[in-house]
Amino acid sequence: MTDFSSIIRDCFCVRSSLLKLAYSSSGGQHLGGGLSMIEIMCTLYSSFLNITPSTVTHPDRDRFILSKGHGVLGFYPVLHYYGFLSDSIYASYKTPGSQLISHPIKNYDHGIESSNGSLGHGLSYASGVAHGLIKKNSKSKVYVLLGDGECNEGSVWEAAMSSSQLCLSNLTCIVDNNKLQSDGPTSEIISDHNLAAKWSSFGWNVFSVNGHHVESLFSAFSTTTDRPKLILSSTVKGKGVPFMEGDNAWHHGRLTDKYFQEAISTLYKVYE
């Protein structure tokens, strides 16, 4: 029986590490979108992704691709927590000469499968990898995380069409549906109304879940399909830090001493 309380503990540890990393590196950080993806990432890395720090280059590993590249604050702490990044590499984030910058740079040794900065490219990349694995008769799976604002990009839908046509049953796409993007609510930029129906119309098996409920995420990840799978995860930007939740000012913000202390103290209260 799955110990969901263990995954929830992982989420607390990762969120705490995220805040400390953002504070120690100073400057502006993409905090909101990093915090919204933590349950997704911890559920995936703790229970589903067939990769370990010792198998990061093994041909039969599963692949995770962060398409919403600005979400590295929800990625690097996960890689560190599950043993893919050493303490020294992790602590070097955004320092001169560091291998860890504000967007992921491909580095198989650190468990980073692709470089991503410009939005809209991760699904195409993931689809190509998934198709190649099928051609090689590999049982490996590919997981890719997009933002809901990223679904404004036409290249996302080109990849969605081709993935369905190719019957990429080894491909799972997760949309972090936190309903906010850099310029404001996604509904006011380009309406994201009924994303589930849109993805379904492109031939994907769609699962709509609460992206902060690990049991629902676990169930969606567990379900096998004969087509590519889309997990539409309803989330809250800034989740876990009450004064950040739903406040788009924290799409990219700076943790001063005051904000950091408040964030850490309220995070502990949330998980009491």
Q: What is the pLDDT of residues 158-210, one digit of tens each?
A: 999 999 999 999 999 999 999 999 999 999 999 878 999 999 999 999 999 99
Q: Which two tokens stand for residue 244?
A: 């950040």
Count Cα atoms within 13 angstroms, Cβ side, for 69: 19
Whole-number mean pLDDT of the chain?
96
Give the pLDDT confidence of 45-83 residue by residue, as tens digits: 999 999 999 999 999 999 999 999 999 999 999 999 999
Domain tally, the chain: 1
User: Distance between CA 213 and CA 29 in Å, rounded?
Assistant: 25
Whole-angstrom distance, CA of residue 155 vs CA of residue 224: 26
Residue 171 to residue 123: CA distance in whole angstroms: 10
Instruction: Please state which of the ranges 20-24, 158-162, 181-185, 228-232 shows the lowest mean pLDDT.
Output: 181-185
Does this model's pTM top 0.95? My answer is: yes
What pLDDT is recorded for position 191? 85
Domain range for 70: 4-270
d(CA 107, CA 204): 30
Residue 172, SS3 per DSSP = strand
| Average pLDDT score over residue span 89-112 | 96
- Say if residue 227 is exposed, middle or buried (CB neighbours under 10 Å; 0-12, 13-18, 19+): middle
Residue (of 168, 128, 171, 119) closest to 147 by Cα position: 119
**DSSP H or E segment with residue 128:** helix 122-135
Closest to 238 measured CA to CA, from 16, 33, 82: 33
Which residues share a beta bridge with 174? 145, 231
Q: What angle do CA 26, 32, 38 make, to 5 degrees?
A: 105
Q: Supply the CATH number for residue 189's domain.
A: 3.40.50.970
> Mean pLDDT, to the nearest integer, of 39-43?
98
